[in-house]
Amino acid sequence: LRQDLQDKEKLRVLGELTSVFAHEIRNPMQVVRGFLQLLDDSELPGKKKQYIQLSIEELDRANGIINDLLAFSKPTDESRQRTDAGARILRVIEMMHSYSDRYQIAVKRDVRSEMWIHANPQKFDQCVMNILKNAIESMPDGGQVTVCCGPSKSGMVEILIKDEGVGMTKEQVDRLGSPYYSLKESGTGLGLMVSYQIIRDMKGKVQVKSEIGKGTTVSIQLPGVI
Ligand code: ADP
Ligand code: MG
């Protein structure tokens, strides 16, 4: 219970700080990114080019963190609409293409379309993307990720994201979704916090099954709409 209260307090402070600062920080970052891109000239010697590209990548990473925080600071959503979960998932997989390539991951998909849910499409995308990203990152030496979307036995829309990666202990699984919980060297522990919040907002459920050295399956159940 105490841990729970601490987490709640952290979330509250996080939400307040975020909306105040995120936009202010992002503007100068965009300016710097723009100048870096102008400097990124094909004539440059390799080292300089590499430093510029690394700088752009790090800026993008910081921007990703800001996105996660922003999504979290506005948990209740006004702009929900009838959304095809299957179609959105296929788009997200496409968007993550270069990322999965970099990790040498084949993304196998068994995704039905016309899987209608009530959701904010951008938030839904972000939720799936954060979970898919973790699945990819769990296999540093490559492998296969499987993404399924279809009707569950109980009439919900079910999404499965399965990897054959490092896996987690039960204790680790239990802590998923709490703020700043990350076992990665440069992780933020915000991805799943955001995803879990988005799933809660959609009145959905999430379940994680994992085994060390074997892999992880994240299953999401969302109420369908006609
Ligand atoms: P981050 O990815 O920035 O570390 P997340 O909130 O996305 O933050 O994930 C929190 C932690 O949960 C990760 O650091 C990782 O240890 C663990 N985790 C999440 N998904 C998986 C997965 N599919 N396989 C193994 N570990 C995972
Ligand atoms: Mg993550």
| 184 Cβ inside 6 Å of ligand 1 | yes
CA of 178 to the centre of ligand 1 (A): 11
| 187 Cβ inside 6 Å of ligand 1 | yes
CA of 131 to the centre of ligand 2 (A): 7
pLDDT in tens, 185-201: 878 888 999 899 899 98
Residue 209, token pair as written in the block: 């099954």
Instruction: Lowest mean pLDDT of 112-121, 133-142, 148-157, 186-195, name the range.
Output: 186-195
CA of 192 to the centre of ligand 2 (A): 6
**Mean pLDDT (whole number) for 94-116:** 94
For 115, 124, 195, the CA distances from 82, given in Å and listed in that order, are 10, 12, 19
The identity of residue 181, as a single letter, is Y
Q: Identify residues whose C-beta is under 5 A from ligand 2, the ion.
A: 134, 191
Sorting pLDDT into bands at 50, 70 and 90, what band is 33? very high
The Cα–Cα gap between 132 and 135 comes to 5
Residue 25, token pair as written in the block: 């920080």
Q: Is the pLDDT at 103 greater than 90, yes or no?
A: yes
Residue nearest to atom 18 of ligand 1 (CA): 134
Give the helix/strand (H/E) hosting 216: strand 215-222
Out of 61, 192, 194, 198, give the residue to mutate to test ligand 1, the one with the largest number of ligand atoms within 8 Å of its CB. 192
CA of 189 to the centre of ligand 2 (A): 6
For 42, 79, 225, the CA distances from 51, given in Å and listed in that order, are 13, 40, 49
Q: What is the overall mean pLDDT for the chain?
A: 90
Q: How many residues does the chain have?
A: 226
Residue 224 φ/ψ, nearest 5 degrees: -85, 160
Q: Is the pLDDT at 69 greater than 80, yes or no?
A: no
pLDDT in tens, 139-149: 999 999 999 99
Q: Name the residue with tokens 């709409």.
A: 225
CA of 197 to the centre of ligand 1 (A): 15
The Cα–Cα gap between 191 and 189 comes to 6
Is the reported ipTM for this assembly greater than 0.85?
A: yes
Sorting pLDDT into bands at 50, 70 and 90, what band is 76? low
Q: At what angle are helices 121-137 and 85-95 packed, to 10 degrees?
A: 50
Under 8 Å between Cβ of 138 and 165: yes
